[in-house]
Amino acid sequence: MATPSRPIPFLFRPFRGGRIVRHALLIGFGLVMLYPLLWMISSSFKPEDLIFRQPGLWPSEVTLENYTDGWTALKHPFGYYLWNSAVVTGLSVIANLVACSLAAYAFARLEFPLKKLWFTLMLGGIMLPYHVTIVPQYIMFSKLDLINTIWPLVMPKVLATDAFFIFLMVQFIRTLPRELDEAAEIDGAGYWRIFIRVVMPLCLPALATTAIFTFIWTWNDFLSQLLYLNNPDNFTVPVALRTFLDASSDSSWGPMFAMSIIALGPIFGFFLAGQKYLIRGISTTGLK
């Protein structure tokens, strides 16, 4: 689509089914997508007793009380839980990036006995609903005396048990032309070198995707964090957020919304930072 060389005022630009329409559609669509989030933000600024009585988007009274109350409502200031979550999440991201890419490279590029069997087993592991595996798993970690440590949350990631990401990276690696590996091999590179120097740099989008999703899913993961970190000193954000709600009596909706918004900050920030790496892997030339 040709763009006019001279800047034309927005309203007078020719209506050519081009950018404006596209932007308008995207923005309109974005608003529909965002309505619930906007409602949540607006609710977080309403006095608590008005949240359900005045369901409109625009608050008639604005208060910061939910934020100040929510921050201090629990045993520790909310920042404490953010930090706990950051530790668990950060370690998980690093572990997943390393362990899953190692396994993915083997599945995608190397030949070895029983490969099919192992691959099937890997995918099979995510086909059982976690509600039935969580009890045996808890029993195991409890016997190891690891309850209320971060090991039950991080160890599975260190040991590459997340088939989603292995499979994801396998698929990405397999879109890369094999000539690249072979060229490196001719230059005398071993598998490790090919992995580090050739495959990984070209998989940057896949690595970024893995990092983003690991971050988000770990940050939001509720049940395993509740089970394994059930001492109030170890609480993470999702667990802390639930404590604002109590189906059987009084819920603190306002602080819950306010702290939810705050808890969205880190994931959103990580997402923004991570998506920058969703760049073209092989721009024009693949290898030097």
Partner 1 sequence: MADSVAVKPRDAVTEPARGGHRSTKRSRREARAAYLFLAPWFAGLLVITIGPIVASLYLSFTDYSLLEEAQWIGWDNYVRMFTEDPRFLNSLWVTTVYVVVSVPMQLAFALALALVLDRGLRGLSFYRSIFYLPSLLGGSVAIAILWRKVFGADGLVNAVLAVFGIQGTGWVAHPDYALGTLILLHVWTFGAPMIIFLAGLRQIPSSYYEAAAVDGAGPLRQFRSITLPLLTPIIFFNLVLELIKSFQSFTQSFIVSNGSGGPADSTLFYTLYLYLQGFRDYDMGYAAAMAWVLMLIIAGLTGVNFLASKYWVFYGDTK
Partner 2 sequence: MSSGKRKWSAALLAAALLAVTAACGGGGDGGESAGGTVTLRFSYWGSDARQKMTEEAIAKFEAKNPTIKVEGEFSDFDSYYESLSTKVAASDAPDVIQLEIRALREYADRGTLADLSSSVNAADIDAKLLATGAIDGKQYAIPNGANAFSLMVNPALVESSGQKLPDDTTWTWDDYVDLASKITAGSDGKVTGTQLSWNPAYLEIYAAQKGESFYQGNQLAMSPQTIKEWWAIMQKLIETKGSPDAAKSAEVGATSVDQSLLGTNTGAMGMWWSNQLGAAASASGQNLELLRMPKLEGATTGGMFMQPAMFLAASSKSEHAAEAAKFIDFMINDPEAGEIILSDRGLPANAKVLAAVRDKLPEADQKTLAFLDEVRSELKDPPAAPPKGASAMEDILTRYSEEVMFGRMTPDDAAQKLIAEANASIAG
Residues in region 16-35 near partner 1 by CB under 8 A: 19, 22-23, 26, 29-30, 33-35
Taking the complex as a whole, the smallest distance from the CB of residue 282 to partner 1 amounts, in Å, to 4
8-state DSSP, 2? P
If you compute the radius of gyration of the chain from its CA atoms, what whole number of angstroms results?
A: 24
Among 115, 222, 275, 279, binds partner 2 (CB under 8 A): 222
18 contacts partner 2 (rule: CB under 8 A): no
Token digits of residue 217: 């899913």
- Name residues whose C-beta falls within 8 Å of residue 157's C-beta, 6 or more positions apart in sequence: 91, 92, 95, 96, 99, 214
Give ∠ CA 141-131-128 in degrees, rounded to 5: 100
Neighbours of 203 (CB within 10 A): 24
Q: Total number of residues binding partner 2 (CB under 8 A)?
A: 45
Taking the complex as a whole, the smallest distance from the CB of residue 142 to partner 2 amounts, in Å, to 4
Among 231, 283, 284, 285, binds partner 2 (CB under 8 A): 231
| Residue 225 CA to its chain's centroid (Å) | 16
Taking the complex as a whole, the smallest distance from the CB of residue 158 to partner 1 amounts, in Å, to 7
Token digits of residue 119: 């691959």
Q: Where are the alpha helices (DSSP H) in 115-162?
A: 115-124, 130-143, 151-158
151 contacts partner 2 (rule: CB under 8 A): yes
Residue 74 near which of partner 2, partner 1, none (CB within 5-8 Å, type-dependent): partner 2
Taking the complex as a whole, the smallest distance from the CB of residue 113 to partner 1 amounts, in Å, to 6
115 contacts partner 2 (rule: CB under 8 A): no
137 contacts partner 1 (rule: CB under 8 A): yes
> Cα separation of 7 and 9, whole Å?
7
260 contacts partner 1 (rule: CB under 8 A): yes
Site string for partner 1, 110-129 (x = CB under 8 A): xxxx-xxxxxxxxxxxxxxx
Site string for partner 1, 141-180 (x = CB under 8 A): --------------xx-xxxx--x-xxx-xxxxxxxxxx-
> Cα separation of 87 and 154, whole Å?
10
> Cα separation of 286 and 201, whole Å?
10
- For residues 90 and 156, which CB has a smaller minimum distance to partner 1 in the complex? 156
77 contacts partner 2 (rule: CB under 8 A): no
35 contacts partner 2 (rule: CB under 8 A): no
Neighbours of 27 (CB within 10 A): 10
Buried b / exposed e across 224-261, counting CB within 10 Å, b at 16+? bbebbbeeeebbbbbbbbebbeeeeeeebbbbbbbbbb
Among 83, 119, 164, 191, binds partner 2 (CB under 8 A): 191
- For residues 86 and 146, which CB has a smaller minimum distance to partner 2 in the complex? 146
Given a contact cutoff of 8 angstroms between Cβ atoms, the answer to whether 249 and 264 are in contact is: no
Q: Which residues in the 193-212 window bind partner 2 by CB under 8 A?
A: 193
The site for partner 2 (CB under 8 A) is made up of 49, 52-53, 55, 73-75, 102, 134-135, 138-139, 142-147, 151, 158-159, 190-193, 222-223, 226-227, 230-232, 242-253, 255
